[in-house]
Structure 1
């Protein structure tokens, strides 16, 4: 028979356990979030997962799942808090709906961190086995997040290392997933030391001797050291190739047009004049190409309906001898209706269109409604939801003496799009975006952070033109130059190398991520026999 005293003890233990789990979940979430912009304290990432991994290696899978899931939800609530303001202010929906949307997104994303913790607790077998299992699982789940549903690879763990210039050179082989692997590898090695200090060996049982944790730290240090050595060597190679490459002088224009008036017809002429005035200043530097941001022309450029505005833009183009890349919406006849595109036009100073690129990866619920048969009601909730059509993956824009791969808006967070454009012959990358949606949150910095990696992965220089910032340039080893501040009218000009160097990542894509997926399956749900026989 259970006594009242037994019930009181059970309640006390339960309350203490809940407080402990919440504490460690919050601690891990804050460390992870602080590793990203802002404040971009990337060193924190190397220890942010230690509490969660320790719990996963010393607790039952259910507890690991709870702590992991809470860690993920809290982390993404902090990292993506800008979502609420974005969809309220510019999506035209109430605050409460914006909060609900953020919560639903974070509940979904938290499942990946929870799944990592559960799998690690479920399939652990002690020291060195867990040392490999943890980073393999993490990368496999990150890759799943990149591909599942419409894909949302925002804030992958490897991005926290943007300022470790030698280390990020590894991405020209593995993509950003290789950095995520290293970060989790180090976290796991440190966690194994903690676990041993608790008197266990990493599989929930007691153990003795420091041989395994010391070896784990040594292996992790060797891997990180090897990555730094590779990066140092590779930077020298790429810098030598840059010095021999043809240079193209590119100007990026930052108009700083308020999103609240951007599409107001009364401000269209003023918007054009702002971009023309900034471009005239940039023309004094004699650029070969001038880039305006995503939808910089807030009308259908070249459409007869907006003929007066098109002619006004073209009069400005004629002021200098340069090619232009202009962001604009486009409309084309399709049977009895119309098809709409988020487009970048390449135009000469004489007003001749020499190429165009249509955005391939559209923003769900912003530029189109995914799964419309199931989510038919969404259109009523999101007043500004567009109905755009997607372009063709791998399309590029070719000028008379240049060939560029284009990224529009958050296409820069999908590496396969940049890879496809380089495979199509692009010698440099150009990113047009409008980050006014994000306000003064951490999102513009996070967005620029991810775009930076596309240059390193493909070994192509990147020019970025953003409506409200951050605009600037990234060279093929990841160095940033000419970065603008947020919310300023600005222009920048830089000579960029037109590269022909081909990286392993461009050749083979996400082979490293697929290898981690295969290893995760071998270690986990389909690998029981393998583990029993060989491990």
Structure 2
């Protein structure tokens, strides 16, 4: 029962520390109960099935965390929610099982170091493999407290993950020593160490917060929130009707000085979308072009779905959708920048939602489960991507905008690719309406604040049903438009040209952790067991 309650405590502490309603200080002690469970099971010689006990209790802790913080997925699809919650909890529990195996063969210091680096490697894996789900990466937990994490411009969100684990490990080690020697000085020293480890980074961050000033140049931007119900209205309305609505909303805020107008993702998605090869002669292009004609400084960043047909098998891609023996279709979740130039600039979303926009590991899974796709919200079809991040040059300015589409905004190093390609402003185009008025859309908005700090770029965020917002380079909200509200927002936002250390270095903490974790693992299992 004691072990059960301790595992329960870890799960609840992790959940209660998570945005947007949680208090992240709880994460600094959240793993201690579970670590103690693993240690206690290891030192009790009479217990049987130790590995299964560790795995089961770890799974309980992580299931509680995953369920409480991401159960909003069920509002789009029950099966998809179950898959994400159950499998992610399984992977996290497996990490603790590996840690237990290592801890039996080496010192506590080495085993805890291994655990920290292993967890960071797991988070890095979640940013890159085809079952990608980085929503619960620990560094995201501080998104509602931007004054605490201004140093993310040097470390990225992995700095937050390392921060959480270091404090947990110091307190856990102190607790073990106290139980062994019953010396209160051990706890006092640990309290001083952890207080310093928590407070010093926050103090440095607050100093940076009040001394940091963005560059003086600004652009005027407008974001649109059409508030279209994706389950009923979106796929029943024509592109012309939606285009008229967007222009009506834009006119409420736009002026002759407006440089950037941003819509949500795939706001134009009638039938199968717009034919990509003929877009520059399509009704959708000319409708937008006619609107832009009245505003000489305007750059219209439009979210839409494209398709491209192939009848020649030689042209098909692994992501092509086959309709018959002679027809394949590529679908794209895209952004098009339309201004006074003759043709549009186009970017195709490249970080795709698992099971909705991509089929993970097709060559292995397709023979087993056929064409099954999870439905986490959206048009269920394989999407085609592009390799490089595009930064669109804004007409009549010297600046570039990044068309960050929906899920892409959760990926720190991925977003730095836009900045390395010249982006001075980030435009996030999203549709979070699939999950209703839950923590899903609130967390997604909150994570965008981290991207602003990491890159020191202003963000113009257009969300179909909300929350649309402007975020400054310090991660603060300039303006927001409430959820389930139709309207537009206008703001003058700073444009920066400086490059942060994190933009240059990327996820270096994760890369270092990979080498350390591998080294510690090899040393542990290729040396004589310690008794």
- Whether the TM-score (by the shorter chain) exceeds 0.5 is yes
List gaps (5 residues or longer) in structure 1.
Answer: 1-18, 88-97, 201-206
* CA 74–495 in structure 1, closer or farther in 2 if over 3 Å, else same: same
Distance 1:121 1:380, change over 3 A: closer
Alignment match, 1:64: 54
The answer to whether the aligner puts 1:329 opposite 2:270 as a matched pair is: no
Aligned length: 493
> Which runs of structure 2 are paired with 1:375-454 in the superposition (5 Å)?
375-376=365-366, 377-379=369-371, 384-400=379-395, 401=397, 402-454=399-451
Give the conservation status (yes or no) of the 8 Å contact 2:6–2:37. Answer: no
Q: Specify the alignment match of 2:97 in structure 1.
A: 118
Paired with 2:374 and 2:131, the residues of 1 have a C-alpha distance of 18
Check conservation: 1:462, 1:473, Cα contact below 8 A: yes
Deviation string 1:279-305 (CA, Å, 9 cap, x unpaired) is 001114842111011012234457669
- Partner Cα separation in structure 1 for residue 447 and residue 24 of structure 2: 14
Contact 1:186-1:217 at 8 Å conserved across structures:
no
Q: Residue 286 and residue 302 in structure 1: after superposition, are their counterparts in 2 closer, same or farther (change >3 A)?
A: farther
Q: Distance in 2 between matches of 1:167 and 1:531?
A: 44
Tell me how far 1:139 sits from its aligned partner: 2.0
Secondary structure of 2:490's counterpart equals: strand
Residue of structure 2 equivalent to 1:74 = 64
Out of 221, 230, 233, the residue aligned to residue 250 of structure 1 is 221
1:119 Cα deviation (Å)?
4.0
Q: 1:428 to 1:312 in 2, by over 3 A?
A: closer
User: Aligned partners of 2:186, 2:360: CA distance in 1, in Å?
Assistant: 49
- The normalised TM-score by structure 1 is 0.83
Indicate conservation of the 8 Å contact 2:130/2:354, yes or no. Answer: no
Which stretch shifts more, 516-525 or 458-467? 516-525
Distance 2:90 2:514 in 1: 17
Deviations 1:129-151 (A, max 9, x none): 56645533332322233333342
SS in 2 for 1:483: strand
For residue 160 of structure 1, the aligned residue among 141, 152, 157 is 141
Deviates more, 1:506-515 or 1:292-301: 292-301
Distance (Å, rounded) in 2 between the aligned partners of 1:20 and 1:270: 61
1:450 Cα deviation from its structure 2 partner:
1.8
The answer to which of 218-227 and 521-530 deviates more is 521-530
Please list every run of 5 or more consecutive structure 2 residues that lacks an aligned counterpart in the other structure.
43-49, 313-327
Over 3 Å counting, the alpha-carbon distance change for 1:131 and 1:309 in structure 2 is: closer
Alpha-carbon distance in 2 for matches of 1:103, 1:362: 19
Matched residue SS, 2:121:
helix
Q: In structure 2, the residue corresponding to 1:391 is in which secondary structure?
A: coil
Greater relative contact order (Cα 8 A, min sep 6): structure 1 or 2?
2
- The two structures, once aligned, show a CA RMSD in angstroms of 2.9
Change (3 A) 1:507 1:307: closer
1:227 Cα deviation after fit: 1.8
With structure 2 as the length reference, what TM-score do the two structures score?
Answer: 0.84
User: In the alignment, does 2:499 pair up with 1:502?
Assistant: yes
Q: Is the Cα–Cα contact under 8 Å of residues 404 and 430 in structure 1 kept in the other structure?
A: yes
SS in 1 for 2:330: strand
Measure the CA separation in 2 of the matches of 1:163 and 1:263. 31
